[in-house]
Structure formats: structure tokens, C-alpha cells
Amino acid sequence: MTHPDLAPTLLRLLGPGEPEVGCDECFAALDRYVELELAGADADALVPGLRAHLAGCPACGEEHESLRALLELDTPGGSE
């Protein structure tokens, strides 16, 4: 079990060698991540650590799901 309310700074101190982001960074990068996903790009490589955070953080995982659903509706063609 992980605690999603741990301070991002603390997570950074705990895992200096890992790219995992905190909730603040996750939310900041999430729309870009979802756009990359929907564009068929390698979102996990372009936004390192975000996927790991989404997997371990229910709140951000849920935000990711709803944002993706929203953007899927918003981009019928999948390209601009």
C-alpha cells in the first residue's frame, strides 16, 4: 500500500534514482501525457515517471481516465 498524500519532496528524497513524479508534477503533465497517448506517441518515454505514478496513485489514475475520456470525445479525427 502506498500513501498518495506523501509530500512530493519526500518521494523525491526517497527515490533519487527513479523518475517517478509527484502528484503536482503528474497533474501538470497529465494533459500532455494524454494528448501523446491519443496521438499514438510513446507517452511513457516522453513523460518519464508519469505512468508509474498513475499506477501507484488512485487519485491521479482516476484523473487520467476521465481526462482521456474527455479528450477522446474532443478529438474525433485523432489529428489536427
From 11-19, 24-32, 38-46, 70-78, span contacting Zn ion (CB under 5 A): 24-32
Question: Is the Cα torsion angle 46, 8, 12, 6 positive or negative in sign?
Answer: negative
Q: Which three cell numbers stand for residue 35?
A: 494528448
Query: Do residues 5 and 14 lie in contact, with contact meaning Cβ atoms separated by under 8 Å?
Result: no
User: Cell 506517441 identifies what position?
Assistant: 41
Does 60 participate in binding Zn ion (rule CB under 5 A)?
A: yes
Residue 69, φ and ψ in degrees, nearest 5: -60, -40
- Complex with Zn ion: residue 36 or 53, whichever CB lies closer: 53
From 8-16, 26-34, 44-52, 68-76, span contacting Zn ion (CB under 5 A): 26-34
Binder of Zn ion out of 11, 20, 21, 23 (CB under 5 A)? 23
For Zn ion, the binding residues (CB under 5 A) are 23, 26, 57, 60
